[in-house]
Structure 1
Amino acid sequence: MSDADSQQVPRPPQLDAVFHVSDVRTDGDRVLYYGVSDVDEEELTRRVWPAFREQGYEVQVARTDRGLDVVVARPYSTGVDGVPWTNVALLCATLLSTLLVGATAWYYIPFGAILDNPLLALEAWPFTAAVLGVLLTHELGHYVVGRYHGVDVSLPYVIPFILPFGTMGAIIRMRGQMPDREALFDIGVAGPLAGLAATVVVTVVGLSLGPFPVPAELLSEGAQVIQFHDPPLLDLIADALGRQTSYDQPGLTVHPVIMGAWVGMFFTVLNLLPVGQLDGGHIVRAMVGERQETVASLVPLALFGIAAYLHFGRGLSLNDSVGLWAFWGLFSAFIAYRGPANPIDDSALGPKRKALGVLTFALGLLCFLLVPIEVVVV
């Protein structure tokens, strides 16, 4: 007798139609069905998943070391359980790191002065609001659409860091299974589109604030500074508003809020790389199916090619974006190796979503630069 006999467990007829159950056991909130399947693992999951989902469970199929198949059903989450303390702690830490980095690197407040009076770091709140506003809007786009499709996704985790922005970005965890290509596409595309909308708003605000003064001591002859080049989208918005993104007068630069827009555009490019479980990987997997893995295998080669071209063809150093693209070549190879998210129902997308996917990548190209950063001598 199994330890599930005295408990009410889901047993949809779709399971018995293709799976010969020999034992049912419980392990915490999980229900494990041992037996032999008439179909392969992928087909078994596809057939029983909708029925289990209607009863509030998600299923995965595995194989025991005794050669038996096992269907594992576990309740799926429909919301946030309790206070997400990890998310809150990371958000607080990132608020502090972006304020500190913003104050010292972009508002030119000496670090010693902040040690004497920590409240001086609050002068950088527009920078922090711009950077975190763009990143969180991107991730909340994924979160809202994920919840709409009934996929178990976490609230955003923002990651504190040091220079140049005080953060390494933000992520969400997709803990649940993907029901179909439409859900995979919608979740993947929602982040970049929401983030780009926030980026445009931040760009308009930053440009309207006008130039920002740079202390004269930072402009001494022969000093090296990191120059962040303008993505095409930033120039297009500036031209439409009749605003400048550079100034001939020494000692003037764009307002630090513009760096929030730059971060939004650069992270859009990175997230749209069509590899693994990045946004671009989700979108392309939904659009072209399993051929996405062929596309993903070419991405690291393309990024290494860009790094090689910049170094050997244009003579740029590792600091001048060469190292940046080489790093992302390695990182994308790792992500591609882990593979994409595979939907339960692999039916093809309709033409409207495919057109939206093409548009999203086109908008991403407006944020792309061969040389995003460069070390220059003033």
Structure 2
Amino acid sequence: MYSPKTYAKHGLLFFLTLTATTLAGGEWLFGRSILSSERPLTWEYFLRAMEFSIPFIGILLVHELGHLFASIYHRVNASLPYFIPGWLGFIGAPSIGTFGAVIQMKGLVSSRRKFFDIGIAGPLAGFVLAIGVLLYGFTHLPEADFIYEIHPEYLDPDYDPEKQEGVMDLKLGYNLLFWVLEKTLADPEKMPNMSEVIHYPYLFAGYLALFFTALNLLPIGQLDGGHVIFGLFPKHHKTISMTAYTVFIFFAGLGVVSPFEDFNYLLIALPLYVGFVFICYAKSGLTMTNKLMIALLIVALQYSLVSFFPTLEGYSGWLFFAFLLGRVLGIQHPPVADNRPLSHSQKILGWVAILLFILCFIPQPFIID
């Protein structure tokens, strides 16, 4: 089906991505880098970092293979998974070693049922493996003093992390599923706080897998969740997609502009932000006037809410993804020739996917101080 050259190309990308995520894992788990002379990533720590990279990349692989096998089943021509390496340690920036993985649909998807099956197969397959990784991680936590291997400074009774300058404090946000698994499976004496989960390879890999699962299941456009909504609600998928996207960008931008900012700053920031939101609706199918009205309304409501609730804050980290959705991918689903409704079993799986999105979505996934 695929040529040896194709297998070689995709295999090389997979190997490079696995290597990149292992390098990133060494930085997150142990604070060690191949570019550091003080705390170098030795071969020993490189191998230990694979406790993160192998399950994480394995989950991404299973996710993409779910899409691929569903495509093969429905006789839709598709590429092998493209893994995208993304280690940024060489510029001193934090990264997880990859920008994800995708398959390219080369054939026409002619029916609603096929779109549904191909879209839902990836998240469901990846989720099953992610649950296995998390179950292992929560039930095989190291002893509580493990953290002193990473942070020996914690042994100093006078050490106060809040007084340290130039140190990035990363805290992971909760989702419903991670919280439930922690409370039901983990030993409270061994369970790290959410600022330290990055040092626990299986928990961190599973957490990232849930994050990407929810991201793919957003009920917008041509994301996997968009395919699910397109299958379940043939008459209302456009409205659902547009509403979900608007709520998403509204939450993301809460607090970006505030009445408590300097007036001169607002004179520049407000028009730029309105322009950004306007651009995000580029592929919405709306008229120019409607796009501008929506952008103005969103910013006005955000500004007003923050006026009454000064501590109200969304998650600006979502804005870049909102831009990609609106400007690059689009928030509409392509039409199909075969509009037969889903089978009963497909409808059940569709509602399961919606439930998984609710369980896995993390409003504020990475909180950095």
Same fold by TM-score, threshold 0.5 exceeded?
yes
Q: 1:184 to 1:314 in 2, by over 3 A?
A: farther
Distance 1:108 1:230, change over 3 A: same
Question: What is the alpha-carbon distance in structure 2 between the residues aligned to residue 229 and residue 196 of structure 1?
Answer: 19
**1:255 aligns to 2:186 (yes or no):** no
Instruction: Tell me what 1:182 maps to.
Output: 113
The CA deviation at 1:283 is 1.2
Is the partner of 1:159 in helix, strand or coil? strand
Match of 1:359 among 336, 352, 358: 352
Q: Does 1:225 align with 2:161?
A: no
Task: Please tell me whether the aligned partners of residues 268 and 367 of structure 1 are also in contact (alpha carbons under 8 angstroms).
Answer: yes
Tell me how far 1:278 sits from its aligned partner. 1.1
Residue in 2 aligned with 1:140?
65
Change (3 A) 1:370 1:344: same
Equivalenced residue count is 294
Alignment partner of 2:335 out of 342, 365, 372: 342
User: Distance in 2 between the 1:229 and 1:272 partners?
Assistant: 18
Q: 19, 22, 25: which is aligned to 1:102? A: 25
Contact 2:222–2:330, Cα closer than 8 Å, also in 1 = no
Q: Which has the higher contact order (CA 8 A, sep 6+)?
A: 2
State yes or no: 1:300 paired with 2:253. Answer: no
Which residue type is aligned with residue 144 of structure 1? F
Normalising by structure 1, we get a TM-score of 0.70
Q: After superposition, what is the alpha-carbon deviation per residue over 1:273-307, rounded to whole angstroms, capped at 9, x for unaligned? A: 12222101111112222632332222331122112
Pick aligned residue for 2:50 from 114, 121, 125: 125
Query: Deviation digits for residues 30-85 of structure 1, max 9, x if unmatched?
Result: xxxxxxxxxxxxxxxxxxxxxxxxxxxxxxxxxxxxxxxxxxxxxxxxx3233423
Structure 1 residues 251 and 334, CA gap change in structure 2 (3 angstroms):
closer
Query: In terms of Rg, which structure is larger?
Result: 1
Contact 1:296 1:336 in 2 (8 A): no
Letter in 1 for 2:46: A
2: CA distance between counterparts of 1:176 and 1:240?
Answer: 45
2 CA distance for matches of 1:156 and 1:253? 27
C-alpha distance 307-345 of structure 1, shift in aligned 2 (>3 A): same
In structure 2, what is the equivalent of residue 272 of structure 1? Answer: 217
Alpha-carbon spacing, 1:251–1:191, altered in 2? closer, same or farther (3 Å): closer
CA–CA distance in structure 1, aligned partners of residues 228 and 178 of structure 2? 24
Contact 1:177 1:344 in 2 (8 A): no
Residue number among 153, 158, 163 corresponding to 2:83 in the alignment: 158
Quick check: which one's strand share is greater? Answer: 1
Instruction: Report the 3-state secondary structure (helix = DSSP H, G, I; strand = E; otherwise coil) of the residue aligned with 2:242.
Output: helix
1:171 to 80, 102, 105: 102
* Distance 1:151-1:246 versus aligned 2 partners, 3 A rule: same
SS in 2 for 1:167: strand
For 2:11, which of 84, 88, 98 is the aligned residue?
A: 88
TM-score, with length taken from structure 2: 0.71
- Residue 168 (structure 2) pairs with residue 215 (structure 1): no
Q: CA–CA distance in 2 between the matches of 1:197 and 1:82?
A: 31
**Corresponding letter in the other structure for 1:189:** I
**What is the CA–CA distance in structure 1 between the aligned matches of 2:196 and 2:106, rounded to whole Å?**
49
Please tell me the root mean square deviation across aligned C-alpha atoms, in Å: 2.8
What is the distance in 2 between the residues matched to 1:304 and 1:254?
Answer: 31
CA distance in 1 between partners of 2:5 and 2:187 (Å): 44
Instruction: Give the counterpart letter for 1:88 in structure 2.
Output: G
Q: Which residue of 2 aligns with 1:369?
A: 362
Q: Helix, strand or coil for the counterpart of 2:330?
A: helix
Residue 246 of structure 1, CA deviation: 4.1
Tell me the distance in 1 between the aligned counterparts of 2:345 and 2:153.
Answer: 55
- Runs of 5+ in structure 2 lacking a partner? 88-93, 155-159, 257-305
CA distance in 2, matches of 1:247, 1:115: 25
